[in-house]
Amino acid sequence: MTVATRAVHAEWVKFRSLPSHPVTVAVAFAMIIGLAAMLLSAQDRDGAVPAPTPTELLAGVPWAQFVLAVLAVVMICSEWASGTSKVTFLAVPTRWPVLAGKATVVGTVGLVAGATGGATAFALASASGTDLGVELTLTVRLVAGAGLYLGTIAVLALAIGAIVRDLAGSILAVVGFLWVMPFVAAMIPVPEVRELSVYLPASAGVLLLAPDGAATELTPWGGYAILLAWTTAALAGAVVTLRGRDV
């Protein structure tokens, strides 16, 4: 078993040994299907309240991302807060496999929570007799996109936490970077700033949940590529930070 494989196994043991971690993932899953169920139950068969669109059906995903991002930050920053980082990095002195192990765990749970949540939301629509009027290819993209988006956002939050290290500071940095900045950029009455705001990680990645033919400069997969670029850059910065700082 390689060092990286052992690190992934160790981080998975840490994840499931704390009941709050699986519960947090379950909360993210419940937010996706809960909001979908509310929208489906609110529709009026007479047409006064129309059925939700496929994108509206996954409206819980942007809320679930906050829960998973905080979970990712806690997983990395709690090491320094509790002092267990010394033991962790003594066992893995090269350090980067620890980050890779944590990224694998939070990315996987985000992927599973998003994809299963999206699939369950569409299953609820089908069970309720709601005709969403979407093709199979779009459904697959939306379900897969929910998982990919949440998993990648969790890894990005983990990398930010590794760079900042402080728990409260990392949560504030993640909230500011992923949610406040796009909102502020959209409010600035400068066309160039608003055009650039779509290239921020959350704004670009969430295009995976956009309908076909949405009036955007980026395609859904182009937006996800930008989110991946941001995440890769943050992980590179986290590796440099881990190797250059004391534990």
Residue 160 has pLDDT above 70, yes or no: yes
pLDDT value at residue 130: 75
Q: At what angle do helices 96-127 and 61-82 cross, to 10 degrees?
A: 150
Cα 205 versus chain centre, distance: 9
The first and second tokens of residue 8, run together, are: 């992934």
Overall pTM surpassing 0.85 (yes/no): yes
Exposure string of 195-224, with b = 16+ CB inside 10 Å and e = fewer, is eebbbbbbbbbbbbbbeeeeeeebebeebb
Averaged confidence pLDDT in the chain: 88
pLDDT value at residue 239: 93
* Across 172-200, average pLDDT: 85
Cα 109 versus chain centre, distance: 10
Residue 213 region by backbone torsions, left for phi larger than 0, else alpha for psi between -120 and 50, else beta: left
Distance CA 110, CA 116 (A): 10
The first and second tokens of residue 201, run together, are: 């990680």
Distance CA 44, CA 48 (A): 6
The first and second tokens of residue 127, run together, are: 């069970």
Task: Looking at mean pLDDT, say which of 44-53, 90-99, 103-112 comes out highest.
Answer: 103-112
Residue 18 has pLDDT above 90, yes or no: no
* Across 36-52, average pLDDT: 74
Write out pLDDT tens, residues 109-122: 999 999 999 999 99
Distance CA 156, CA 172 (A): 14
